[in-house]
Amino acid sequence: MRARVTVYPRREILDPQGKAIHQALERIGFAGVRDVRAGKSFEIELDGGDAAAAERLLAEMSEKLLVNPVVEDYTVELLPGEPS
Amino acid sequence: MRARVTVYPRREILDPQGKAIHQALERIGFAGVRDVRAGKSFEIELDGGDAAAAERLLAEMSEKLLVNPVVEDYTVELLPGEPS
């Protein structure tokens, strides 16, 4: 089972990295960018094929290790197929 | 148009951050983790609704600013709906 945990700063928290990238994109000529948020992505491969069990485990990993819930939000997605 | 660019170390490049997270998960009691890769995620909101144009623009942004193609791979996904 392959999954991805995506972690972003909470909407109400400043995202200075996203803001810096937004400004840099404009500086090098990209117009029409409304917003950039910068976060982290973890691709995790687990033994076993039970989707519900994997989602529970990944939520637990996120809350214990991957995410700081005071300032970050996360989403868990199960990915199809084998590792690229 | 909302999109996500996900950036990971290339498969043939060592991923010390992913490895450290893998070891930390095992240390705190998570068994059955086969592999962890640690990467970056950028959520970008663009003006306009043309998917093909957005994908071209995001690939260009990735190659010019977001990604170091020597050591990183990236994927672009268009996201449905409005910002969360």
Q: What residues of A are in the B interface, CB distance below 8 Å?
A: 4, 6-8, 11, 18, 21, 24-25, 28, 30, 32-48, 57, 60-61, 64-66, 83-84
What confidence tens digit (pLDDT) does each residue in A32-75 have?
A: 999 999 999 999 999 988 999 999 999 999 999 999 999 999 99
Report pTM. Answer: 0.91
- In B, minimum Cα distance to A38 occurs at B42
Of A41, A61, A65, the CB nearest to B41: A41
User: Where are chain A's structural domains?
Assistant: 2-79
The contacts of residue A74 (CB under 8 Å, 6+ apart) are: A5, A6, A7, A8, A62, A66, A67
**Homologous superfamily assigned to B2-79:** Phosphoribosylformylglycinamidine synthase subunit PurS (3.30.1280.10)
Of B18, B25, B41, the CB nearest to A39: B41
Residue with tokens 């623009």: B57
Separation of alpha carbons B9 and B37, rounded Å = 8
ipTM above 0.85, yes or no: yes
Separation of alpha carbons B5 and B21, rounded Å = 22
Task: Provide the residue-wise pLDDT of chain B in tens; the chain has 84 residues.
Answer: 999 999 999 999 999 999 999 999 999 999 999 999 999 999 999 998 899 999 999 999 999 999 999 999 999 999 987 654
Q: Is A2 helix (H, G, I), strand (E, B) or coil?
A: strand
